[in-house]
Structure 1
Amino acid sequence: MAPKRGDSVAPPPGRDEFEIKYATKEAVEGWRELGKQAPGNTRAAWHETRTSPAPVPPTERHHQLKSDLATAVHNGRELPQWQIEVTGGGRVWYLYDKEKRVCWLKLARTGHPRQTDK
């Protein structure tokens, strides 16, 4: 059965890891495409999200988004929105829920998201 919105990004989290779940149908499809295009980098992004979803200090390739993209609402809660640059154009955006130890994969794209071109 193909994954859908709300499903976990397999495999289940290990001890002291964050669970990753799909927040949107588009993230399911985008994650699949990103994995085909750049499997090693996609695996590294998955690992970073699992083990260090909010690195201190943030890096140029892994940081919280800025301005009106810095947070987003999911299931009625406003959460910080983070980005990992997977490839030169490919990006992963997720909502970081520290309290529930879940990262909601909101966007996965092989091309650069236009929303950040402000």
Structure 2
Amino acid sequence: MVRFLNTEAAKGWEELCRSAASNTWEAWVVLTERPASSENIDRQHRLKGEYAHHTIDGATFAQWQYEVTSGGRIWYCADSDEMTVWIIRAGTGHPKLTD
């Protein structure tokens, strides 16, 4: 199951769908089938430093990034116990937080 952490993440996902539909579909497949895989390190990898983890409802998870386009990103966490992927942040522009 895929869930959005907040409305901002859901709106960012919609932006990605409008601007890069096929790449966003590919991201959906990866996030639903193998969210914690480094199979394609050019597009999917763990975040580092202060962004390496994210806490949701008191549980801390490894935070990953999927590069949808050269600027578009999805930040997410995989909760293997609940079989849920949480979309933390999504958007068509590179996250300013990591600049």
TM-score by structure 2 length?
0.95
Return the alpha-carbon distance in structure 2 between the equivalents of residues 56 and 28 of structure 1. 24
Larger Rg: 1
Q: Which runs of 5+ in 2 are unaligned?
A: none
SS in 2 for 1:78: strand
2:22 aligns to what? 40
Question: What residue is the counterpart of 2:43 in the other structure?
Answer: 61
Residues 85 and 56 of structure 1, relative CA distance in 2, 3 Å threshold? closer
Deviation at 1:100, TM superposition (A): 1.1
> Contact between 1:58 and 1:64, CA under 8 Å: does it hold in 2?
no
Greater length-normalized contact order (CA 8 Å, ≥ 6 residues apart): 2
- 1:96–1:103 CA contact under 8 A, matched in 2: yes
Once superposed, which parts of structure 1, at least 4 consecutive aligned residues long, lie more than 6 Å away? Answer: none
Select the structure that is richer in strand.
Answer: 2
Structure with the higher fraction of residues in helix conformation: 2
Q: Per-residue CA shift, 1:5-41, capped at 9, x if unaligned? A: xxxxxxxxxxxxxx11011110111001110000000
Distance 1:108 1:93, change over 3 A: same
- Matched residue, 2:82: 100
Cα deviations across residues 51-75 of structure 1 (Å, max 9, x unaligned)? 0101145613101100110101111
Q: Which residue of 2 aligns with 1:80?
A: 62
Q: CA distance change for structure 1 residues 58 and 87 in 2, over 3 Å: closer, same or farther? A: closer
TM-score (norm 1): 0.80
**Equivalent pairs: percent with the same residue?**
39
RMSD of aligned Cα (Å)? 1.1
The count of corresponding residues between Structure 1 and Structure 2 is 99
Query: Unaligned regions of 5+ residues in structure 1, if any?
Result: 1-18
